[in-house]
Chains A and B, each alone.
Chain A
Amino acid sequence: MAKRIEVSGLHAYYGGVHAIEDISMTVEPRSVTAFIGPSGCGKSTFLRTLNRMHEVIPGARVEGKVMLDDEDLYASSVDPVAVRRVVGMVFQRPNPFPTMSIYDNVAAGLKLNGVRKKSSLDEIVEESLQGANLWNEVKDRLAKPGAGLSGGQQQRLCIARAIAVQPQVLLMDEPCSALDPISTLAIEDLIAKLKSRYTIVIVTHNMQQAARVSDRTAFFNIGGTGEPGRLIEIDDTSKIFTNPEQKGTEDYITGRFG
């Protein structure tokens, strides 16, 4: 169910703008890796290169290698659509399909994968909603619009939608930044639970959150205005937050800048 990600020499561009430069790292399966760093340092851009979502922006392109176990995601024979079915994503703002019911939101990806049988759909929808700690709150109103839920519930609905297709990897781009503390806690509990089954990468601006949920933490930064973002350091979370190798990392986590 979970795969290792190995990135080597990865660059990403928006048109002529060099957004991230020469990133190499390994993300272990069944673990949570947090990306931290100041705004504009390329964390989200890098995250989006891991499921080939970066290139959907006009003019955007990627160089380098991303290996998912032994498959290169950027090999010319690889269909980006197939990549996204294996590497799921949860966005900063909850984005359930506004015209769909709760049930249909979760079932959307399954239907794309050709699951048509009502009984198996029912089963996976329930399983996914339970996996996202949302089932008890919505089981009596599955036919109601997903957009009618609270922000935290919507985000868990999006997680349910992402895990319904049984991805190998789950990418989360600041999944709690639009949520209140209680909903954030619910998502963090969920992440802890999901990591037994998935490889999870989470971008966060909240360093306490990174410390709470992640096993490993990667710190990104830019050299200066207009320069591409770089990976400064990646290590066990406890080490990053207590005894980082790099001065820049220490400055950032102790709040001396950023």
Chain B
Amino acid sequence: MSSDTGVETHVGARHRATGRRMSTGRAGDKIFVSAARGSGILVLVIMAAIAIFLIWKAVPALQRNEASFLTAEEWDPNALPPRFGIAQLAFGTVISSLLALVIATPVAIGIALFTCFYAPRRLSAPLSYVVDLLAAVPSIVYGLWGLLLLSRHMEGVSSFLNTALGWIPLFGGDSPGRNSIFTAAVVLAIMILPIISSISREVFVQVPRANVEAALAIGATRWETIRLAVLPYGRSGMIGASMLGLGRAMGETIAVAMVLTFVPGINIHILEDGGSTFAANIAKSFGEASVTGRGALIASGLVLFVITLLVNMAARAVVARRKEFV
């Protein structure tokens, strides 16, 4: 492997060298280079400014906090003395997003495979369009839909899951309800469906014809071709797509805030009413929050930011793990 690295470094060095030589010093070049560099730096500056602002606002509230910020389940930053912790929010966010991902990913990849490989061409373009259109529906509409329509029908589904799979702690509990983390997860799943589906579709379309024909030529059926040539090629793309979906699910605010009924404390039984997430909590509480309350909410936002960052890093690690084969 050391020889490979050697080659890479060598190529890298050559690229840098040509990169310098390509800049001829003409005015157009100079303007373009500074514009590009400026945009790049600007992103970093904005990110840093946001982080600094959030920390600056969060620290005073954290100093006044009487409870353990990371492990406490209560959220009373407006009380005196303020007591707040993110345990419940983190639980609700992670569980609802992961569940949404588990529901959405197979469906989204199924849609992408269908539009790419199974649907007649006349159907596949309109179908992709409609799926993409799901992304254009405002999240408040999803929230209304989830609250007014879906939650009513989720009652039966939840009771069924509770009866059939009640031995799994997540689906346990005595009173499966409508406004549960599970209902929120279903709404989230529909919301992240289009992004996972359309990115997967883009990846599948790019699978080289040669790979597909290689599979066909050894007598693979359509599904076997997908398994041999398409899915392995699209693997990192699908993981990336799922992670974007997960990011969106974790950050989703209003739809979740509308669906969930607030009940304090972590409840492992996700079919029962209650639960909250970082974003939903911020949306619900920010208006009536005191200065400390706002600081507390900002601190919780920071945590959400860190979790999202960790998810992305984990995804990159997964993608990079089998790089030798891609």
Contact = CB atoms under 8 A, between A and B. Distances in A.
Contact of B218 (A56, A88, A98, A145): A88
A165 B325 contact: no
Q: For chain B, which range describes its interface: under 10, 10 to 19, 20 to 34, or 35 or more residues? A: 20 to 34
Contact of A91 (B217, B219, B221, B326): B217
A154 to B, nearest CB: 11
A145 B325 contact: yes
Contacts of A100: 232, 325
Nearest to A110: B218
B227 to A, nearest CB: 9
B235 interface: yes
Interface in B120-144: 121
Given A95-B210, A99-B235, A89 B229 contact: no
A30 interface: no
A112 B210 contact: no
Given A56-B213, A97-B232, A85 B219 contact: yes
Nearest to A171: B217
A4 interface: no
B228 A95 contact: no
A91 B221 CA distance: 19
Nearest to A89: B217
A95 B219 contact: no
Interface string A83-107: 1110011010101111111000000
Interface string B300-326: 000000000000000000000010111
Contact of A112 (B121, B211, B219): B219
A81 B233 contact: no
Contacts of A112: 218-220, 224
A33 interface: no
A238 B169 CA distance: 79
Given A95-B214, A97-B232, A99-B233, A81 B219 contact: yes
Contacts of B219: 81-85, 109, 112-113, 165
A252 B55 CA distance: 79
Contacts of B220: 81, 112
Interface string A101-133: 100000011001100000000000000000000
A161 interface: yes
Contacts of B216: 53, 56, 84
B210 A93 contact: yes
Nearest to B220: A112
Given A53-B216, A88-B218, A97 B326 contact: no
Nearest to A148: B324
B122 to A, nearest CB: 12
A73 interface: no
A231 to B, nearest CB: 23
Interface in B193-221: 208, 210-211, 213-221
B218 A91 contact: no
B283 to A, nearest CB: 43
Interface residues of A, number: 31
A99 B232 contact: yes
Contacts of A88: 217-218
A97 B210 CA distance: 9
Q: Which of B210, B218, B219 has the most chain A CB within a 10 Å cutoff?
A: B218
A147 B229 CA distance: 14
Contact of B325 (A58, A91, A99, A109): A99
A100 B220 CA distance: 16
Contacts of B211: 95, 97-98
A91 B210 contact: yes
A109 B121 CA distance: 29
Given A91-B210, A145-B325, A97 B217 contact: no
B217 A51 contact: yes
Interface of B: 121, 208, 210-211, 213-221, 224, 228-229, 232-233, 235, 322, 324-326
23 contacts: A51-B217, A53-B213, A53-B216, A81-B220, A81-B221, A83-B219, A84-B216, A84-B218, A85-B219, A91-B217, A93-B210, A97-B211, A97-B214, A97-B229, A98-B325, A99-B233, A99-B326, A109-B218, A112-B224, A113-B219, A145-B325, A161-B214, A165-B218
Given A53-B217, A56-B216, A82-B219, 7 more contacts: A95-B210, A97-B232, A98-B326, A100-B325, A108-B218, A112-B224, A147-B325
